[in-house]
Amino acid sequence: MFAIVLVGGFGTRLRPLTEHVPKQMLPICGVPMIEWVVGHLADHGVEKVGLAMGYRPDAFLEAYPNEHIATTPYQVAVESEPLGTAGAIRFAVEQFQLTETFLVLNGDVLTDLDVRALVEFHRDVQAEATIALQPVDDPSSFGVVTTDNRGRVEAFIEKPEKGSAPSNNINAGTYVLEPSAVEQIPQGRPVSVERETFPELAAKGTLYALPSATYWLDTGTPRQFIQANLDMLNGKRKQLPDLPDAEIDPKSLITQSVIGNGSEVEAGAVIDKSVLLDGCRIGANSEILGSVLSEDVYVGQGARLDGCVIGQGQRIQPGEVLMNESRPEAGSA
Ligand code: GDD
Ligand code: MG
């Protein structure tokens, strides 16, 4: 089966980490997110993927120049301007000339979903489109779905106001689609699959959904990005990481953190619940708590970062104290 992976978003909530790369190229335990996503699909019988791109297509093409992501062949459809989630699906279907049932994924979701079971359900109920559902505590930042007892979708409400969601089951960002569902997507303007296409298919009665309660995480915010790294580190996933290689002084204390390749951590430094990308230098007796440091960040001796997101190449002066702050990358305004 063919899978379209949507990777065209700007990753706004993850800035400045996404200043130059789409969020799907950010590393989870040292390996770009897209490789975990495609690897999971390959484990479930997907033979080929198509990346629906817009923002920074060069980042993918440079990282995967030989038409494969890990061992899976891939193609690209590059939008000249963002077409929205449904517009991107339509554009990709035309580019890749898909004429059979296919999968669509939000490229920023990490999950152990049983993709084969979703496809089987889709075929059993003869749906035009089927959505994987996930129960969450606070559904307000997601697409909320209600179904009847056979799984037919009654309502699809994207990002309802807090407290007004009719269910805790949310759109998990994996879909099985028939080409006929795509023909209804209007052309020539951006279209959202969540705000237009799914509500229309629900009204028509051809949209179904299947709940599951496996590992699932949307990685779109700094807090979720740290969580994705820690979950992988802590073995909460079926996939297991090969940890990056860093130079760490034995007199430092590193707990619940991922330190990128080629990074150095000096004596007395304390790092907790944080993710450091490659090439960071962490000075003696500094503290880094609940933070994300992009590549090549320097933290001076005795500095303290708590809940921060620091852009590439940034230098934090010795003794500086930052709390819940975001710093742009070095050299930018
Ligand atoms: N090609 C392309 N073009 N991709 C896009 C575009 C576009 O115009 N807009 C967004 N994307 C991609 C993003 O890169 C991401 O992989 C995916 O589509 C979803 O966009 P997000 O911006 O991450 O949406 P969200 O997290 O707020 O909400 C979506 O995901 C939730 C689950 O994680 C919705 O689908 C919700 O309904 C869902 O619950
Ligand atoms: Mg998202």
Ligand 1 close to Cβ of residue 96 (< 6 A): no
**318 alpha carbon – ligand 1 mean position (Å):** 39
Residue 241 lies inside a defined structural domain of this protein: no
Q: For residues 202 and 278, state if they share a domain.
A: no
CATH for 303: 2.160.10.10
Q: Count the Cβ atoms, other than its own, within 10 Å of residue 102.
A: 24
What would the pLDDT profile of 303-333 be if each residue is shown by its tens digit? 999 999 999 999 999 999 999 999 999 987 5
Do 217 and 312 belong to one domain? Answer: no
My answer on whether 112 and 60 are in the same domain is yes
Q: Does residue 226 share a domain with residue 137?
A: yes
**Domain coverage including residue 114:** 2-234
Cβ burial, residue 207 (10 Å; 0-12/13-18/19+): buried
Q: How far apart are CA 157 and CA 155, in angstroms?
A: 6
Quote the pLDDT of residue 51: 97
Q: Do 95 and 225 fall into the same domain?
A: yes
Claim to verify: residue 94 and residue 177 sit in the same structural domain: yes
Nearest-atom number in ligand 1 for the CA of 82 is 8
- Domain shared by 254 and 230, yes or no: no
**Statement to judge: residues 204 and 299 lie in one domain:** no
Q: Does 240 reside within a domain? A: no
56 domain residue, yes or no: yes
* Nearest CA owner, ligand 1 atom 35: 173
CA of residue 217 to ligand 1 center, whole Å: 13
Q: Is 290 in the pocket of ligand 1 (CB under 6 A)?
A: no
- Is 52 in contact with 5 (CB distance < 8 Å)? yes
Phi, psi of 233 (to 5 degrees): -60, -40
> What pLDDT is recorded for position 333?
57
282 and 321 both lie in a single domain:
yes
pLDDT of residue 309: 98
Question: Tell me, what's the pLDDT at 240?
Answer: 83
Is 239 within the bounds of a domain? no
In a domain, 84, yes or no: yes
Same domain, 195 and 297: no
CATH code of the domain covering residue 131: 3.90.550.10
| Residue 190 resides in a domain | yes
* Domain count across the chain: 2
Q: Which of 108, 144, 156 to mutate to test the pocket of ligand 1 (most atoms within 8 A of CB)?
A: 108
Residues (pLDDT < 70) of the chain are 333
pLDDT tens for 148-202 read 999 999 999 999 998 899 999 999 999 999 999 999 999 989 999 999 999 999 9
Rounded Cα distance, 149 and 152, in Å? 7
195 and 306 inside one domain: no
Q: Does residue 168 belong to any structural domain of this protein?
A: yes
The response to whether residue 132 sits with its C-beta less than 6 Å from ligand 1 reads: no
Integer Cα distance of 190 and 313 in angstroms: 35
